Structure 1
Amino acid sequence: MSLYPTAGAKLYIGGPKEQQKADFAAADFTGETWVEIDDLENLGSLGDTSETINFDGINAARRKTLKGTRSAGTMEVVCGINNDDPGQIAAIAAEKTPHDYAFRLVLNDAPATGSDPTPSERMFIAKVMSASEAFDEANSVMKLNISLGVNSNVVKIAAATGD
């Protein structure tokens, strides 16, 4: 098993995408036009968490914990502000709409061997909940903070050697 750096990962935004009752599959993202969001500094986290449901049984004097609905949460993305970047422009425009958008995260974990190695990917739909600017102190880069409210399962595509 190998470890891989986050450095080199890429995040893309696609077009508006409707929610569906069934989980998404990779084929649901076929034909999507992807625009890279550039100047990434932080990709945050992504993945399902179950809501906690508690039941306090009087006769057992014991709390029982159950799992409720699942949520992939909010992915907090941080970029250096680049007013000319098509991906940042698309994310800012998406924040102004009520729609979910397709997102694609390409990791930096392609195998070192094989005829046509490809990295793993994560695909999902999300609403761009915010696109706020942070200016901080004198010796810092101005940032664009993008919050993605994930509204689907996360489709995982494994890295492959291409053989």
Structure 2
Amino acid sequence: MIYATNGAKCYIGGVIADPGADVTETTFASQSWTEIKEVESLGTFGDSASEITFESLNQNRTKRLKGTRNAGAMDLICGLDYADAGQLALIAAEKTIHDYAFRIVFNDAPAGGTPSERMFIAKVASASEALDAANAVLKLNASLWINSNIVRVAAAAA
């Protein structure tokens, strides 16, 4: 079954230390979440491997191996809301060197159940205002440098 992205929500938590290993759902259990409102686009995220190559002389062939994993940078686009606590937290996080907890909640809950979620640790690399053309909404664009694996929590029935 497929689902629309509309209804998805993005949350920022507090400062969180990199545990030095893959994070799990329990890593985020003590977080207090603040919704980042007026989100227009969540961008993309997910692991990809760095390429390691080796030129084999006797096979006359380049061998490819998987290197370190990179969960990418997630680019949020929001309608700028000066009073939104989530956007203010995002802007404040950009001014620090720390990693923060993030949570995405999808709009895919079964009747009476709970929706699927994604959680990760990231640095807020940028928080810039975009003032486009006439007849456009002021935007807050933020880039999140993901520094952990993405924890996937499946939707659950009631």
* TM class, shorter-length: over 0.9
1:32 correspondence with 2:31 = yes
Give, in whole Å, the separation in 1 of the partners of 2:65 and 2:21: 23
Give the match for residue 94 of structure 2.
95
Deviation (angstroms), 1:103: 0.4
User: Which of 96, 113, 118 is the aligned partner of 1:117?
Assistant: 113
Give the counterpart letter for 1:145 in structure 2. N
User: What TM-score, normalized by structure 2, do the two folds share?
Assistant: 0.97
1:146 correspondence with 2:145 = no
Give the counterpart letter for 1:134 in structure 2. A
1:89 is paired with a residue whose SS is helix
Deviation (angstroms), 1:58: 2.1
1:133 correspondence with 2:133 = no
Runs of 4+ in 1 over 3 A off after TM superposition: none
User: What are the residue-to-residue correspondences of 1:41-60 with 2, within 5 Å?
Assistant: 41-60=40-59
1:11 correspondence with 2:6 = no
Stretches of structure 2 that go unaligned for 5 or more consecutive residues are none
User: What TM-score, normalized by structure 1, do the two folds share?
Assistant: 0.94
1:105 correspondence with 2:104 = yes
Stretches of structure 1 that go unaligned for 5 or more consecutive residues are none
How many pairs were matched up?
Answer: 158
